[in-house]
Amino acid sequence: MNRVSLIAGNWKMYKTVPEAVATAAQLKEAVKDISGREIVIAPPFISLHPVSQVIKGSNINLCSQDVFWEEEGAFTGQISPGMLLSAGCTYTLIGHSERRQYFGETNETVNKKTKKSIDQGLKVIVCIGEALEEREAGKTFSVLEIQISEGLKGLTPVHMDSVVIAYEPVWAIGTGKTATAAQAEQAHQFIRGKLKEQFDTGVAEKIRILYGGSVKPDNIDQLMAEKNIDGVLVGGASLKVDSFSRIVKFT
């Protein structure tokens, strides 16, 4: 199965609106000749629409960093899938480890957000991954299995056409530590196997699984050489155009 590589940049809580617009304009220029792979950026909510205007018609897709599971209502501070679509988004991140760690995200809320987003027409990047103590206790695979089974519960193979999985070992996010390419490949292989069990071979072979966790220009080529790594979710290195464009141009 020939899966199109996906390189996503999560800008987290960085960049004012003018900074986000300027970065998007520079990135658009830097990657304009790149084809055969998908490029996605996730600025903060307030920059989504202005950035969408900058990248309109380019080879860059827009992604939000979170979403809510209702279409509208008295949910102060929340943003619905329809609002994201109207702001120019194609994708949303769901279940990022920082949302789980600081904001009470659970596998259940990941599931609700995923279903609603897909039903409303958004594609989703669902994040899963284990903490350091879980890895050291040998629980990596059991944690991933629960996050997959509960987070994707009730989804159909048709729903899964709109899903990308991002494996982000929590111990490697923003720490400078990176899972080796072999460690990442082992986790991706396990995830693909679980998707085959939960859905079918077609879903497992078609779905893209990204690696996230201290991805940098100096480790991107090794990571992307692995059979089951279909792309990356980049944090800090996506904030600078030169480093992110180098990652997009992996060989």
Q: Model-level pTM?
A: 0.97
- For the residues 43-65, what does the mean pLDDT come to? 98
Residue 21 has pLDDT above 90, yes or no: yes
Angle of CA points 179, 196, 70, to nearest 5°: 85
Output Rg (C-alpha) for the chain, integer angstroms. 17
Residue 1 has pLDDT above 70, yes or no: no
Domain that holds residue 137: 5-248
Q: Which pLDDT score, from 0 to 100, does residue 171 have? A: 83
**Exactly one of 96, 98, 145, 185 is catalytic; which is it?**
96
Residue 113 has pLDDT above 70, yes or no: yes
Q: Which pLDDT score, from 0 to 100, does residue 178 have? A: 72
Any idea how long the chain is?
251
Residue 168 among the catalytic residues: yes
Q: Which of 100-104, 167-171, 246-250 has the lowest mean pLDDT?
A: 167-171
DSSP 213: S
Residue 236: helix, strand or coil by DSSP?
helix
CB 228 within 8 A of CB 188: yes
Residue with the larger pLDDT of the pair 60 and 175: 60
Percent of the chain with pLDDT over 70: 100
**Exactly one of 98, 130, 134, 168 is catalytic; which is it?**
168
> What does each C-alpha distance from 66 to 80, 103, 128, 157, 221 come to in angstroms?
9, 11, 14, 23, 29
Q: Which pLDDT score, from 0 to 100, does residue 123 have? A: 98
For helices 107-120 and 140-151, give the axis angle rounded to 10 degrees.
40
CATH classification of the domain holding 53: 3.20.20.70
Domains contained in the chain, number: 1
Q: Which pLDDT score, from 0 to 100, does residue 179 have? A: 81
The neighbour count for residue 85, using CB atoms within 10 Å, is 16
DSSP 149: H
Residue 96 among the catalytic residues: yes
* Helix%, strand%, coil% for the chain, nearest 5: 45, 15, 40
Residue 63 has pLDDT above 90, yes or no: yes
Residue 132 has pLDDT above 90, yes or no: no
- For the residues 12-39, what does the mean pLDDT come to? 98
